[in-house]
A and B are shown apart, each in its own frame.
Chain A
Amino acid sequence: MNGLIRKLTSSKLFSALMALLVILIFNVFLNRGFLSITVVDGHLFGQLIDILNRSVPVMILATGMTLVIATGGTDLSCGALLALAGALSISLIRGSSTIVNEYSAIPFPLVITITLAVTTLCGLWNGFLVARLGIQPIVATLIFMTAGRGIAQLITGARNLTTNYAPYSVIGQGWLMMLPVPIFIAAAVLLVVWYFTRRTAFGLFVEAVGVNASAARYSGINSSMILMIVYSISGLCAGVAGLIYASGIMCADANNAGLNYELDAILATVLGGTSMMGGRFYLGGSVIGALIIMALTKSIYAFDVAPESALVVKAFVVVVVVLIQSPFFKNWRDTVKNRRAAVGGGEVR
């Protein structure tokens, strides 16, 4: 029993999970009807479902981000690529039509394929800059972070393009088995990435590159190929998140879609226990991180304050979680543990 507790508390996911639990419990007391889930027209409604549903774009971005961060990098471009995906998909659906349309100009699967292919290519370009030209990830992805929104506005002609094409709305607003469709998309993305990284050697390669890229190369891993794949995956994730986001509002807003989402995705990943130095990564942790961010935002909305004031609380929660995970406290915990062991006459270490 003791061993189990120790194993649980020493798990990387533990602090993130505890933070999420604390926020949820806090909500249960302050926010009446927080746990209640009702069935309306065969759809499940409730605040918990809402948190899950709304955290999907950040969750998907964080999935790609986790791999990028595991290689010791950062992808700042994913928020802008999210906006680009929305702009591209809606302008493809509208084609040359000048009014709000209810049909698609080109076949719908083609719209999705082109959109995802473009964001994946943007990701690949980031990967190329990082892997082949050896440019720092923050700078390499900063290019698309600034230019991506510009390109998105170029596509939409700096207007907020809208559409009424019904199949498109399914992605972000549809229902499946009583639950919102985005949740299933997120689950599918996670499952694929999980399988790809944990059931093949790919995950190991990613971690190896993150720990020491040149050592990984000497041990026969094609480091630059791994990096390019990882950044492409992040681009692909941004594309999927962009489709969901734009479909949720049926509008391509190049300026505000996914604004600062890249920061939230990085935050979710770090809250989930993945170190920004690279190495071990925790996909499950990133999912919990994304949920923490959304649950926190949601719980602050319950108070009657400006939504932006939520940032202060967010800052404090992040400080606490980050401090708990910091090497400083880990050292401190270890010394306390060792001292206790020494005093008790037991084995030291």
Chain B
Amino acid sequence: MNGRRRFSVDLKYIPALSAIILFFAAYAIGGILYGDRGFLTTRTFATLFTDNAYLGVSAVGMTLVIISGGIDLSVGSVAALTTMMLAYFTEVLHWNSALMLCVVLLTGALLGFLMGLLIDVFDVPPFISTLIGMFLARGLCFIISIQSITINDPLLRSLGKWRIKLPTAARAAAYINLSVFTFIAILIAGIVIMQFTRFGRGIYAFGGGRASAKLMGLPTRRIQVGIYAFNGFCSAVAGILFSFYTFSGYGRHLYGMEMDVISSVVIGGTLLTGGVGYPIGSLFGIMIYSVILKFISFNGSLSSWWTKIAVGVLLLFFIVMQRVTVVLANRKKRIQKQEAR
């Protein structure tokens, strides 16, 4: 242990930590630039959560998938299918909406489960099997209906409209809604799963080295299938939240959401090689994404495509930084090994 610096931080925390630092930096810069227009108000801060809670829910599930060394391209389509099923069954077929909420959650988990089976039993690469899931879910939306269906169900409406006023000045009233609470609940669930359950620790082991996890006697099949089922469930939750947000079901909803989610997770410090990452990092990945959107809406003259360029540049920054930390970690390990000799 000789030569250890007092303020050393374990290198594996650096990507997630820098995401947190970057979020606060971006928020501060926004405060300096647009503070007079209300960037720093509680209201603006609350909308960072309320507008993107569905992305956050999906990001928690995606974090688990990516830590396991996989990827899931189906999230946007599964969420769209959720909105479609919810709208069609409650509005057109007049099914009970509480029942439908359970049904769509199960459908999401089932789709994830099937993709997990395809990956684990048949050795189809995650990229391809979730691509199949993406096609299937998106296609099913249009088989159900090609139109956009408005949701008027009283229960769904009241759940979507329910909100709590935060203690702020009346002029800039801030609210948080059910989406935010759901997001926080799922986030906490994600953290608990990853830190304190066998399943979660198994995911880290699996992502760190598949073969060694198997040799250790970990139930790799249960872990891998479980991850995708959980992510399917998260996608369904995200879809429900999105339909609370828009009160409609449509097959064209959430096109390309998977890439927003994946980039947020990567920006949040989860390594796509697997084995490293924290759900809390993904929270800040999503927050950074939300702040970029806020920048653009506060600026007013910037087009929305600047979001894409900004996300691209941030991705580059984070990926290179992650790479550097991995290289440094390896070097440190090597030095330690030499010292041990």
Asked if B122 and A323 sit within 8 Å, CB to CB, the answer is yes
A328 to B127, CA, bound (A): 18
Asked if A263 and B131 sit within 8 Å, CB to CB, the answer is yes
Is the CB of B124 closer than 8 A to any CB of chain A? Answer: yes
A311 to B131, CA, bound (A): 11
Asked if B124 and A146 sit within 8 Å, CB to CB, the answer is no
Contact of A322 among B132, B133, B273, B307 (CB under 8 A): B132
Is the CB of B146 closer than 8 A to any CB of chain A? Answer: yes
The residue on A at minimum CB distance from B324 is A133
Residues of B within 8 Å of A74, CB to CB, are 127
Is the CB of A177 closer than 8 A to any CB of chain B? Answer: no
Asked if B316 and A143 sit within 8 Å, CB to CB, the answer is yes
Asked if A142 and B305 sit within 8 Å, CB to CB, the answer is no
Is the CB of B266 closer than 8 A to any CB of chain A? Answer: yes
A200 to B207, CA, bound (A): 38
A interface, how many residues as a size bin?
35 or more
Contact flag A315-B132 (CB < 8 Å), given A276-B125, A308-B138: yes
Residues of B within 8 Å of A78, CB to CB, are none
Which residues in window 113-165 of A have CB below 8 A to B? 129, 133-136, 138-140, 142-151, 153-154, 158
Is the CB of A222 closer than 8 A to any CB of chain B? Answer: no
Is the CB of B312 closer than 8 A to any CB of chain A? Answer: yes
Number of A-B contacts (CB under 8 A): 130
Residues of B within 8 Å of A311, CB to CB, are 135-136, 138-139, 142
Residues of A within 8 Å of B251, CB to CB, are 308
Is the CB of B178 closer than 8 A to any CB of chain A? Answer: no
With a 10 A CB-CB cut-off, give which of B139, B140, B307, B311 has the most chain A CB atoms.
B139
Contact flag A150-B305 (CB < 8 Å), given A133-B320, A139-B315, A142-B263: yes
Asked if B128 and A322 sit within 8 Å, CB to CB, the answer is yes
A326 to B125, CA, bound (A): 10
B interface, how many residues as a size bin?
35 or more
A74 to B123, CA, bound (A): 18
Is the CB of A21 closer than 8 A to any CB of chain B? Answer: no
Which residues in window 262-314 of A have CB below 8 A to B? 263, 266-267, 270, 276-277, 305-306, 308-314
Min CB–CB distance B328 → chain A (angstroms): 13
Is the CB of A107 closer than 8 A to any CB of chain B? Answer: no
Min CB–CB distance A299 → chain B (angstroms): 14
A310 to B122, CA, bound (A): 24
Residues of B within 8 Å of A319, CB to CB, are 118, 132
The residue on A at minimum CB distance from B145 is A306
Residues of A within 8 Å of B132, CB to CB, are 315, 318-319, 322
Asked if A147 and B309 sit within 8 Å, CB to CB, the answer is yes
Is the CB of B308 closer than 8 A to any CB of chain A? Answer: yes
Is the CB of B89 closer than 8 A to any CB of chain A? Answer: no
Is the CB of B234 closer than 8 A to any CB of chain A? Answer: no
A305 to B141, CA, bound (A): 13
Is the CB of A327 closer than 8 A to any CB of chain B? Answer: yes
Asked if A150 and B259 sit within 8 Å, CB to CB, the answer is no
Residues of A within 8 Å of B313, CB to CB, are 147
Which residues in window 85-141 of B have CB below 8 A to A? 118, 121-125, 127-129, 131-136, 138-141
Contact of B312 among A146, A313, A326 (CB under 8 A): A146
Min CB–CB distance A305 → chain B (angstroms): 8
A213 to B134, CA, bound (A): 31
Asked if A313 and B139 sit within 8 Å, CB to CB, the answer is yes
Asked if A153 and B303 sit within 8 Å, CB to CB, the answer is yes
Min CB–CB distance A314 → chain B (angstroms): 5
Which residues in window 167-207 of B have CB below 8 A to A? none
Contact flag A326-B272 (CB < 8 Å), given A151-B309, A310-B139: no
Asked if A139 and B319 sit within 8 Å, CB to CB, the answer is yes
Which residues in window 204-255 of A have CB below 8 A to B? 254
19 A-B residue pairs with CB within 8 Å: A133-B323, A134-B323, A136-B272, A138-B127, A143-B319, A146-B263, A150-B307, A150-B309, A254-B305, A266-B127, A266-B128, A309-B143, A315-B136, A316-B136, A318-B132, A322-B124, A326-B123, A327-B123, A328-B121
Residues on A facing B (Cβ under 8 Å) = 74, 129, 133-136, 138-140, 142-151, 153-154, 158, 254, 263, 266-267, 270, 276-277, 305-306, 308-316, 318-319, 322-323, 326-329
**Closest CB pairs A-B (n = 3):** A147-B312, A311-B139, A150-B308
Residues on B facing A (Cβ under 8 Å) = 71, 73, 118, 121-125, 127-129, 131-136, 138-143, 146, 251, 259, 262-263, 266, 272-273, 303, 305-309, 311-313, 315-316, 319-320, 323, 327
* 6 additional A-B residue pairs with CB within 8 Å, beyond A140-B319, A312-B136: A139-B315, A150-B309, A266-B131, A311-B136, A318-B135, A327-B122
